[in-house]
A and B are shown apart, each in its own frame.
Chain A
Amino acid sequence: MVKRRDFIKMAGAAGLGLSAAGWSMLAAADGSSTSTTAVGVPTNTGIKGRVVVIGGGMAGATVAKYLRIWGGTGVDVTLIERDSAYASNIMSNLVLNGSRTMSSLQYSYSALASRYGVKVVKGDVLTIDPVGRAVTLASGARLAYDRLVVAPGVDFDVLPGLESAEAQAKVPHAWKAGPQTTALRNMITAMPSGGVFVMSIPGKPYRCPPGPYERACVVADWLKRNRPGSKVIVLDANPGITAEVHSFTDAFNVVHAGVIEYQPNVTINSVDATTMTVNTSIGNIRGNVLNLIPPHRAGKVIAANGLADSGGKWTSVDVLSYEARVAPGIHVIGDASATTQPKAGHIANQEAKVCADAILRLFSGRALDPSPHTNSACYSPITADTASWLTANFAYDPVTKTMQPVAPSSGEAAARSSENFKEMNKWFTALMGDSFA
């Protein structure tokens, strides 16, 4: 393992032309740096094609970038995104204990545009015309494509009782990071000592399998120290902890014993935002704060355009190219697709690379890569300064035509640690740099 100071000496001796930004990325351990050296400026590969990408999250930003750096100057890439910047869901649970702010988790599209020549269009997609191969925006603009990548992330079902905007504001999910995250933080700090924080976890599949358990830990940790006597009640629709079973069982039963109460197999029937009560299969539960994460489905552009062939919610794809089974020429990546892979930002970034590589092969008349790998990695804070992690390296199984974790590569941290917590910050900085910088 090369120590950082030895590496820097070696790099200096080897004459590596790292820019100041590159050095600062190596030096910054607190995750605050988003700048990096401009690698992969597009050259002329001879490949030609026009791609429109819907959605500028982890998958959409990454596919746009890699189509340009691998495809080169002849590959025209337009990224349509309705927000001015991307608000990272990863690390947003650390807004809830006050150690991060949402303003520090904003990612601009300017590098994609200025470094790689991605055309970034701020807008909302109304319709996809798969025959005419064009996308129509709410503004009326029509963008033609040779291939389309749809990466809209997830949208949430409406829980009974939370139909109004007012009720949803009182019971935020904060599972799409942004203003709801900050609002939830404010609700937590407004809790009294001896207060009750109720959260719910939807049935699988949902985005970021360890995320809700991690949230319970981070909130419990803060409440224990700042609002003694408080409880975190976790109502899980699933039959048990869905990720990092060892780490979170230890977290719930030992680290945060007496604070976290975990209930599996719970169905939410309805919510009363006025009395702050949840009616569930195990009775009525009242809280000072209700953080209910509803069941998910693909972002609405998917169902609106006939692409939700998997349970009416997600898009089935060929995982060698992420081309939709029901729509040749249209690729769906990230949380919106239905595959054997988890829904998470780190793996969405990798799916994007497989997709970009496949589209470029299709543009240049080459066969698809027959054995792509993807990988998942996620660090989970358990307290304010310790974390666990999970990871898996997926290989393509030609028999089932699915991505399968290579068994010895799939697992979780043996124990939480402060070393893991520090690594988490470095991982996050690197991941966001690979996706947006």
Chain B
Amino acid sequence: MNQSRIIRGLVLALAAAPAFAQTTTAPPPGRLLASNCFQCHGTNGRGGVETLAGKSASEIVKELKEMQGKTPPKMMDMHARGFTDAELQLIGNYFAAQR
């Protein structure tokens, strides 16, 4: 009784199993977060109102932290306020890694 339930569970699990995770490329950390910037800064941070691709991560983080404090805020200053410090770092690292 137990054995057939285990086998049934295994069969169901295998049937539902998607493509093996280890043979697919993982989404780069910070990519989805950074994609919030693409509408203005271009896909992958290339082009747009100002290219961010390849910029130094620490420089991006520093500028975004400065923007958070600006008053009266411009649109970009407001955007910056919506991210935590950890998120700002992820975003900076992502753009720095784009060539």
Contact = CB atoms under 8 A, between A and B. Distances in A.
Nearest to A410: B78
Nearest to B44: A39
B7 interface: no
B27 A70 contact: yes
Contacts of A414: 72
B44 A40 contact: yes
Contact of B42 (A36, A346, A360, A393): A36
A408 B81 contact: yes
A16 interface: yes
A106 to B, nearest CB: 20
Contacts, number: 151
Interface in A139-188: none
Given A47-B25, A411-B78, A22 B32 contact: no
Interface stretch (A118-126, A130-138, A370-378): A370-378
B9 interface: no
A357 B26 contact: no
A406 B81 contact: yes
Interface stretch (A203-211, A294-302, A308-316, A423-431): A423-431
Interface string A390-434: 011111000000000110111101100000000100110011011
Interface stretch (A97-105, A223-231, A261-269, A361-369): A361-369
Contacts of A46: 19, 23-25
Contacts of A380: none
A427 B42 contact: no
B56 to A, nearest CB: 11
A237 to B, nearest CB: 29
A249 interface: no
Nearest to A25: B47
B35 interface: yes
A13 interface: no
Contacts of A36: 42-43, 47
A353 B82 CA distance: 18
Interface in B14-53: 17-21, 23-27, 31-33, 35-36, 38-44, 46-51
A411 B51 CA distance: 25
Contacts of A11: 51
B82 A373 contact: yes
A364 B39 contact: no
A2 B41 CA distance: 13
A254 interface: no
B25 A45 contact: yes
A393 B36 contact: yes
A16 B40 contact: no
Nearest to B73: A411
Given A349-B39, A375-B36, A410-B78, A22 B27 contact: no
B18 A350 contact: no
A69 interface: yes
Nearest to A69: B43
Given A70-B27, A427-B40, A431-B39, A375 B82 contact: yes
Contacts of B46: 22, 37, 39
A397 to B, nearest CB: 13
Contacts of A408: 68, 78, 81-82
A369 B25 CA distance: 15
Nearest to B98: A39
Given A40-B43, A369-B32, A377-B39, A7 B50 contact: yes
Nearest to B46: A39
B85 interface: no
A354 interface: yes
Given A392-B82, A434-B48, 17 more contacts: A22-B46, A36-B47, A47-B25, A350-B35, A364-B18, A365-B21, A372-B33, A377-B39, A389-B75, A408-B82, A409-B79, A409-B81, A411-B78, A414-B72, A426-B40, A430-B40, A430-B47
20 contacts: A18-B47, A25-B47, A39-B47, A40-B44, A47-B24, A69-B43, A70-B31, A350-B35, A350-B36, A357-B27, A365-B18, A374-B36, A393-B82, A409-B79, A411-B78, A430-B39, A431-B40, A433-B42, A434-B38, A434-B48
- A-B pairs with the 4 shortest C-beta distances? A393-B82, A409-B82, A430-B48, A46-B24
